Amino acid sequence: MHASTMPLYASAALVAGVVFFARGFRTMRTRRLIANTPTARIRSMAMGLVEIRGTVQPRSHVTAPFSGHDCAYWQVDISSRSRRGWTVIHRNQSGQPFFVQDDTGVAMVYPHDAACTIAFGVEEQYEGLALPACYADYMNAHASALGQLARVGMLRFRERVLEGGETVFVLGTATPRAQERVIGDGDLMLATGTDGAVVSQRQTLDQETVAVVRRGENESTFIISQESQKSLMMDLGFQSFFQLLCGPALTLFGLAWWLTAWSSGRMPWSR
Amino acid sequence: MHPGEILWAAVIGFAVFGTVGYGLSIYNGLVALKNNIARSWANIDVLLKQRHDELPKLVSTCEGYMQHERAIFDKLSEARGALAAARNIPERAEAEGMLSRALGNFFAVAESYPDLKANASFLQLQSRISEIENQIADRREFYNDTVTTFNTRIQQMPDAIVAGWLTLQPAELFKADESDRQDVEIQFAKAG
């Protein structure tokens, strides 16, 4: 570590430690919220904060941008490599709702703004100027100007996909479903006699939906996870422990460095 | 102030913040759990009210067909009265079980009236009440899960310390009545 960069690292540690410490409490609160909320059966879930577990069913035709898989939900990020590691330059997710079905009923989930813990299905790295068509097309269509600039270096593409039939855990706010008739691509397919069984199954699920689960206005915790409740709680427990322990350590390191520099009269601006 | 003292002050500051923050998070968690119990109970009440509202419709639909089944109607009415008069959780649980048994008996007896079974509004009411019954059972289970989480937490360390300061007492579970565990006995009225 070069001596001239030390003030920068010490200052960063001073601030980041406090942020880490505060985040540790937030993570601990989320963990408690999961532990305190019993899993509800979908047919009888009450409005407000709910925890459900069930099988994912797509509501509309969604295709993952990188892999081209048919899915219910996707999330992608593109990172560029710098000296300090990977920096995310673009994030995106599908906004289309999907169904979650247990053995008692069906709920619709609006995934927008959810904290998703889904394993990466695709993770590939390429030189920015020699991108395969699926990534190049996506970059041209979606990535920001900054993203386009980063194409000269190494890029990492990651995609998380939630496919129909997978089991998920959802903690979010249940709201009554608005009574409306939605004309989607399914109706067109049904009218033309294409893929009738799938469409009619989706329409049945649409009619059976008892409520919509989304990010709440008062309670912002909204989690969609492939992990079980137990393993999610364990992860959050480790995370909060790490943040509560490392946060103060980082701040103390930064503070100690500045105090040493101050007491020895070697402040960076006095050189 | 000496730099070493400042560093120690920061260490103590983090330790105090950490301890107070942790204590507050336990306190908030227990308060949230207590409110969850009240909410779960209120959510059962919503369904009980819905079922309560469906019963007069059921009685008025069936009265014409089941004129000789006065005892069945009386049982239903008695159970409704008990539920309305119940004030605490054990009373509520007992009355709720009584009404569920009365309804079970009612539908079983209704099976022997083919004209009634063919009546569309009876079928609709029967399906609606069965649906509410299932939802009540789910919410009872949910209520018991919430109570169990609360009772476990206030007995475990370190939550037990905060629970002791707040003088929190274990909440009551919604237990099935003894007669709910026995086989249902159906008695048909004798013709004539």
To the nearest whole Å, the CA of B113 is away from the closest chain A CA by 31
To the nearest whole Å, the CA of A241 is away from the closest chain B CA by 11
Cβ A248–B138 below 8 Å, yes or no?
Answer: no
Cβ pair A79, A88 in contact under 8 A: yes
Partners of B25 on chain A (C-beta within 8 Å) are 25, 28-29, 32
Cβ B135–A43 below 8 Å, yes or no?
Answer: yes
Residue given tokens 């399906």 in the structure block: B127
B139 touches chain A (CB under 8 A): yes
To the nearest whole Å, the CA of B174 is away from the closest chain A CA by 16
Which of A49-53, B8-12, B107-111 has maximum average pLDDT? A49-53
Residue A191's Cβ-side half-sphere holds a number of Cα atoms within 13 Å equal to 6
Query: What's the pLDDT at A19?
Result: 92
Domains in chain B (CATH in brackets) are 3-181 (1.20.1440.20)
Cβ A263–B3 below 8 Å, yes or no?
Answer: yes
Nearest CA in chain A to B153: A36
B36 touches chain A (CB under 8 A): yes
Q: Collapsing DSSP states into helix, strand and coil, what is residue A104? A: coil
Q: How many CB pairs under 8 A join A and B?
A: 68
B135 touches chain A (CB under 8 A): yes
The H-assigned helical ranges of chain B are: 3-63, 70-85, 89-110, 114-117, 120-155, 159-165
What are the distances in angstroms from CA A246 to CA A2, A85, A236, B23, B186? 23, 20, 15, 20, 67
Write the pLDDT tens digit of every residue in B42-85.
Answer: 888 888 888 877 777 777 777 777 766 777 777 777 877 887 77
Cβ B43–A46 below 8 Å, yes or no?
Answer: yes
CA distance linking residue B107 with residue B57, whole number of Å: 14
B33 touches chain A (CB under 8 A): yes
Q: Collapsing DSSP states into helix, strand and coil, what is residue A209? A: strand
To the nearest whole Å, the CA of B52 is away from the closest chain A CA by 17
Residue A199's Cβ-side half-sphere holds a number of Cα atoms within 13 Å equal to 15
DSSP state of A106: E
CA distance linking residue A38 with residue A50, whole number of Å: 8
Among the partner-chain residues B6, B33, B138, the one whose CB lies closest to the CB of A44 is: B138
To the nearest whole Å, the CA of B45 is away from the closest chain A CA by 12
Cβ pair B37, B23 in contact under 8 A: no
ipTM: 0.72
Burial of A18 (0-12, 13-18, 19+ CB in 10 A): middle
Residue to mutate among A21, A36, A104, A242, with most B CBs inside 10 A, is A36
Write the pLDDT tens digit of every residue in B118-149.
Answer: 777 777 777 788 888 888 888 888 898 899 99
Q: Residues A266, B1, B3, B9: is their CA dihedral positive or negative?
A: negative
Beta bridge partners of A56: A100
Query: What's the pLDDT at A100?
Result: 92
Nearest CA in chain B to A34: B29
* pLDDT tens, N- to C-terminus, chain A (271 residues): 556 778 888 888 889 899 999 999 999 999 988 988 889 899 888 888 899 999 998 888 888 888 888 888 898 888 888 777 888 888 888 888 899 998 888 999 998 888 888 877 778 888 767 778 888 888 877 766 655 666 667 888 888 888 888 899 999 999 887 755 555 555 555 555 555 666 677 777 777 788 889 888 888 889 999 888 888 899 999 999 999 989 889 888 888 888 888 777 777 766 5
Among the partner-chain residues B25, B136, B139, the one whose CB lies closest to the CB of A29 is: B25
Cβ pair B174, B88 in contact under 8 A: no
B21 touches chain A (CB under 8 A): yes
For chain B, the average pLDDT equals 79
Kindly list the domain boundaries of chain A, sorted by start residue.
1-36+228-271, 42-226
Cβ pair A167, A54 in contact under 8 A: yes
Nearest CA in chain B to A48: B39
Q: Residues A81, A82, A88, A89: is their CA dihedral positive or negative?
A: negative
Cβ A25–B21 below 8 Å, yes or no?
Answer: yes
CA distance linking residue A82 with residue A246, whole number of Å: 24
- A206, containing H or E segment: helix A196-208
Distance in angstroms between the alpha carbons of the first and the last residue of chain B: 102
Q: Which of A108, A112, A88 is nearest to A98 (CA)?
A: A108
For the residues of A165-198, what is the DSSP string, one character each?
T-EEEEEEEEEEPP------HHHHHHHTTSSHHH
